Structure 1
Amino acid sequence: MKIAHVVNRLDGNGVTKAVINLCETLSDRGITSDIIVLEKTEYPLRIDIQLHSLGSSGLMKRQNPIVKYVRKLAKYTVGSLAYYSLKAEKKSAQLDRLIKKEGYTHILLHCHYSKILFSKVKEAKCFPVIHNKKSKHLKATWWLPSWINRHVMSKALVDRSTIAVSKAVRNDLSKYLHVEKQQLSVLPNVINSAAITSLAKLDRPLPAKLIEKQYLLAVGRLAPQKRFDRLLKAYSMSTCELPLVIAGDGIQLKLLQRLARRLRINHRVIFLGHVENPYQLMKHARLLILSSDYEGLPTVLIEALLLHTPVLATVCSGAREAVANCKLAKLVPIRKLSVLAESINQYSLHPPTCDECNCMLDHYKPERIIKEFLNLVDYESNH
């Protein structure tokens, strides 16, 4: 068995971490597991994991201004997935050549549009892996591109064994894209508890102005889905005097910095940018906060609970599943800022303590997930 994972790029986001964890866990069990990127990427990987690139060259490079314009035009008129469906024949043939050269037997399609680009692959069994709610992810600015996106994705998943990272994602696929339930398997992301605990213990000083257990923390891409604007507004409404640390980078950085100034909390909000090892910050935070509109499986909550850091999260898809009634976690309604603000006050003053989350974390142990994954692969190979 030789497996390859297709991602857009490796940039340290949640999908990147999930794919690398899965690759390393499979490699530790003697199963070759490599990564294929669609954009050329330099990223430190273990020596036993190969990195291949299927990026376009010449005039078709993503950085080409004409290609950028065509993609943008398609996005707002007929939907971005319609553009990628036109390239499916060529990109599938390109992946087929790499499969034959490297001898891959199974391909896991992780990134959003890889399900479309490689819908015509013939040389290996392909498993689409869905990391987010498609009912939210496929929405466009008006009904026509939204409908076309939905139709193209639904067609790409027909008769393909599909992996969802949570029950919430599985239910969304069944309801929104009408994927048959017998096609869907739930396999959560691998949580490497030993590595997380080890990284959290590294003896490095905290960033300037931060004192152990004297700050609130939010970690994630600064993207609309994550709703850091909601967090800033709730934080400004609270009476909490602890600083709020935001670890992450993204397209909304400047917008959020302006919002913090407008709310007059910029002196209490620290934007750290991308942090290579956020686990030390997590371990020493008073509270970790997630304010997303939707998630597939918010692994940041699981990682914080693993380090016995209390979490406060909106009841977005996947959050209830991630925390599984752990006493260190509190979930609040998505659209009630006042409740989030009051919870920030309460949890920052009196954070809960509990050592009973280990049974919940058993669900994400590598041994269990790899066993289920291999059972799925064996079943599909024999049918």
Structure 2
Amino acid sequence: MNTARPKRIFFVINSLEGGGAERVFSTLIEHLSRRLSARIELVLLDRYPEKYAIPADVPRHQLDCGQRFGTSIRELVKLVRREKPDLLFSFLTRSNCAAVIAGTIARCPVVISERVHTTSHFGSGLGATVNKLIVRALYPRADRVVAASHGVADDLAANYAVPREKLAVIYNPMRHDDILARAAEPPPIPLPAETWLAIGRLKPNKNFPMLIEAFARSGVAGDLVILGEGPDREALTRLAAEHGVAARVHLPGHVENPYACLAAAAAYVSCSNAEGFPNALVEALIIGKPVAVTDCDSGPAEVLRGRTAPKVRHATEVEYGILVPTNDAGEMAAALRLLAQQDRRTHYAGLAARRARDFDLEQTLAAYQDLIEGAL
């Protein structure tokens, strides 16, 4: 009789407090826990309220690292040494770095998943330089590295010494049926008749100041609604007043069903400075919305062109939407004026769902399953 214990995989992340990466992580656990031959166990480095549900039958290990890098390494090493899992699978930079160190010490295979364009995400300055050096020292030691887009993979190979043979590009899992079902519900908040919709944390990387300036300069009809919460709320409110559009710019905060808001909107817009894989952009396409977004590193061009390409210098109509240079409010204003034309809006709305079919949940799950099973 075979009495060997089932193999165990520790899925490691900072927390499930909120965010696109955390949502993807929880989706993977939900589906892969029923598909993998090994047992998934959840490891949370930090103790925070959880926004995303994990199946009740998934064992969990709750640490209390308080967002501290050194504590995360120490506590994860202790846990891995004690529990002896067969594989570590991690999301987000701090978890990734801690997992690589813990796996190296405990001689446990490690698969890490990078969700952002690392160089753009860290930016510049002394702290950014230190973080980049840490990533460069640790990421190449992982057994496999999953990148959320080809642009993310190119950055890791070119700037962080990750061997190409270790890299795998797997797009985020998009739950089309769930998104469309929720999009059919009534919006959770009142929306203006003509809504330009943006979604994201109110923080510098999303560059909502550029969007507010572009909206004010565009002369288009309707209102700008930005769904999300964050530290830049007061500054954005002041900026809208300075540009004379305070009555037409709305910051309702986080909403439980952004898909219904997307369905009611005229178009989706984004001015991000960096993206790993732009979840909200693909969700807008699934719902059939025309889009105008910045051509930032690294996901938007892949989504709207179907490939990586040189950066645009002006508001540019591409295969599935409009790309705009980063940090250029004038060109975003031009893009808004293009989408104010009904024929352009109809054209891109008709193409949106066709492109969205390329981001299939089953395809993503199969890719993750093959990669993880191969690393065990």
TM-score normalised over the length of structure 2: 0.85
Cα 1:34–1:88 shift into 2, 3 Å? closer
- Percent pairwise identity: 24
Q: 1:330 to 1:150 in 2, by over 3 A?
A: same
Q: 1:243 to 1:232 in 2, by over 3 A?
A: same
Matched, 1:39 2:46: yes
2:170 corresponds to? 187
TM alignment of 1:228-247, pairs within 5 A:
228-247=208-227
Which residue in the other structure is 1:342 paired with? 334
**Does the CA contact (< 8 Å) of 1:248 and 1:274 recur in 2?**
yes
Q: Distance in 2 between matches of 1:223 and 1:7?
A: 21
Which residue number corresponds to residue 61 of structure 2? 52
Cα distance 1:140–1:327, how it changes in 2: closer, same or farther (>3 A)? closer
CA distance in 1, matches of 2:187, 2:328: 36
Of 141, 150, 159, the residue aligned with 2:125 is: 141
Structure 2 counterpart of 1:292: 272
- Structure 1: which 5+ runs fail to align? 63-70, 72-83
Q: Could you say which residue in structure 2 is the equivalent of 1:369?
A: 364
RMSD across aligned positions (CA): 2.3
Q: How many angstroms does 1:30 deviate by?
A: 6.1
Instruction: Report if the CA contact (8 A) 1:247-1:272 is conserved.
Output: yes
1:321 maps to 2:302:
yes
Q: Which amino acid aligns with 1:23?
A: I
What letter matches 1:115 in structure 2?
N
Residue 10 (structure 2) pairs with residue 16 (structure 1): no
**Alignment partner for residue 149 of structure 2, among 154, 161, 166?**
166
Q: In 2, distance between residues paired with 1:137 and 1:328?
A: 25
The CA distance in 1 between the partners of 2:154 and 2:180, in whole Å, is 32
| C-alpha distance in structure 1 between counterparts of 2:79 and 2:321, whole Å | 43
Asked if the contact 2:15/2:46 (under 8 Å) is kept, the reply is yes
Distance 1:159 1:251, change over 3 A: same
Tell me the equivalent position of 2:246: 266
The answer to whether the aligner puts 1:254 opposite 2:234 as a matched pair is yes
Distance in 2 (CA, whole Å) between partners of 1:216 and 1:98 is: 52
Distance 2:305 2:41 in 1: 32
From the superposition, tell whether residues 88 and 336 of structure 1 become closer, same or farther in structure 2 (CA, over 3 Å): closer
- Classify the secondary structure of the residue corresponding to 2:179: helix
Take 1:40 and 1:89, find their aligned partners in 2: how far apart are those partners? Answer: 15
Residue 373 of structure 1 and its aligned partner are, at CA, apart by 1.7
Whether contact under 8 Å (2:196, 2:225) holds in the other structure is yes
Residues 89 and 201 of structure 1: is their aligned pair in 2 closer, same or farther, counting only changes over 3 Å?
A: closer
* Equivalent pair of 1:39/1:55 in contact (CA under 8 Å): yes
- The corresponding residue for 1:217 is 197
Letter in 2 for 1:378: E
Corresponding residue to 2:258 among 264, 278, 282:
278
1:130 equivalent among 114, 123, 130? 114
Q: Distance in 1 between matches of 2:373 and 2:158?
A: 27
Residue of structure 1 aligned with 2:375, choices 354, 375, 380: 380
Please, which of 107, 110, 116 is the counterpart of residue 97 of structure 2? 116
Deviations 1:339-369 (A, max 9, x none): 2102112213421344444553343212212
Shift of 1:251: 1.5
Unmatched tracts of structure 2, length 5 or more: 1-6, 307-317
Tell me the number of residue pairs that the alignment of Structure 1 and Structure 2 aligns.
348
Q: Do residues 153 (structure 1) and 135 (structure 2) align?
A: yes
In structure 2, the CA distance between the partners of 1:199 and 1:181, relative to structure 1 (3 Å rule), is same
Instruction: Report the Cα distance in structure 2 between the residues aligned to 1:288 and 1:168, rounded to whole angstroms.
Output: 22
- Residue identity opposite 2:123 in structure 1: K
Structure 1 length normalisation: TM-score? 0.83
